[in-house]
């Protein structure tokens, strides 16, 4: 018995398209995280302007969590060798990214605030708020769900079906 965690190869994908979809989601996340980290201090100030219910501390926590989740979702999407537990955590963080961005964009639309930048690409590129941002966040959720469905990390045990005889 080993105390160290053993890495395993990623399970086989269900279809060929799933790996391409996961790569597309990974490329989007890499683009987002690189631009957000490029000006991270300004990204946190941008999130503070969103006037979130928890105040500045909550905005800073969300910013740090978003960037961390975007980075840690990549190993699952790129089918790297991981421990089974971290493969599940990485998949869940991919869902969390889409969920948080959906909540943020819906919050901004509900507040009816004039924001110059949504923050998908940090403060490097100004993306003005609109319904497109909500739809883009939902599209991220669809990509995360599709990738998770096709590359489900937990092997399910096959159930044995017994035939009923009279």
Distance from C-alpha of 129 to C-alpha of 5, rounded to nearest angstrom: 44
pLDDT computed for residue 16 by the predictor: 84
Average pLDDT over residues 21-28: 96
CB count within 10 Å of CB 44 equals: 20
Domain ranges, residue 52: 17-150
Q: For residue 42, tell me if it sits in a domain.
A: yes
Statement: residue 91 has pLDDT above 80: yes
Q: For residue 68, tell me if it sits in a domain.
A: yes
Statement: residue 157 has pLDDT above 90: no
pLDDT band for position 159 (cuts 50, 70, 90): low
Specify the 3-state DSSP secondary structure of 82.
strand
Average pLDDT over residues 55-82: 95
Q: For residue 137, tell me if it sits in a domain.
A: yes
Q: For residue 90, tell me if it sits in a domain.
A: yes
**pTM (predicted TM-score):** 0.87
Q: Are 3 and 80 within 8 A, CB to CB? A: no
Distance from C-alpha of 67 to C-alpha of 36, rounded to nearest angstrom: 7
Ranges 34-43, 59-68, 157-166: which has the least confidence: 157-166
Specify the 3-state DSSP secondary structure of 8.
strand
Over the stretch 130-143, which tens digit does the pLDDT of each residue have?
999 999 999 999 99
- Measured at the alpha carbon of residue 11, what is the angle toward residues 7 and 15, in degrees to the nearest 5? 155
Q: For residue 143, tell me if it sits in a domain.
A: yes
pLDDT computed for residue 14 by the predictor: 85
* Helical axes 131-150 vs 84-111, angle rounded to 10°: 160
Domain count, the chain: 1
- Annotate 89-123 with b (16+ C-beta within 10 A) or e (fewer): bbbbbbbbbbebbbebbeebeeeeeebebbbbbbb
Distance from C-alpha of 152 to C-alpha of 162, rounded to nearest angstrom: 27
Q: For residue 155, tell me if it sits in a domain.
A: no
Q: For residue 76, tell me if it sits in a domain.
A: yes
pLDDT band for position 164 (cuts 50, 70, 90): low
Q: For residue 164, tell me if it sits in a domain.
A: no
């Amino acid at each position: 018995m080993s105390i160290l965690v053993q890495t395993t190869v990623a399970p086989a994908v269900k279809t060929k398209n799933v790996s391409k979809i996961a790569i597309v989601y990974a490329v989007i996340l890499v683009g987002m995280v690189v631009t957000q980290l490029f000006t991270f201090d300004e990204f946190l100030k941008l999130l503070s302007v969103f006037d979130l219910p928890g105040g500045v501390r909550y905005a800073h926590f969300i910013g740090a969590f978003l960037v961390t989740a975007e980075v840690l979702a990549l190993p699952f999407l790129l089918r790297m060798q991981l421990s089974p537990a971290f493969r599940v955590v990485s998949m869940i963080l991919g869902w969390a990214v889409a969920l948080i961005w959906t909540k943020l964009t819906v919050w901004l639309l509900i507040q009816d605030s004039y924001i110059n930048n949504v923050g998908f690409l940090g403060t490097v590129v100004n993306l003005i708020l609109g319904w497109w941002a909500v739809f883009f966040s939902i599209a991220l959720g669809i990509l995360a769900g599709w990738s998770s469905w096709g590359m489900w990390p937990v092997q399910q045990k096959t159930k044995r079906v017994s035939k009923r005889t009279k």
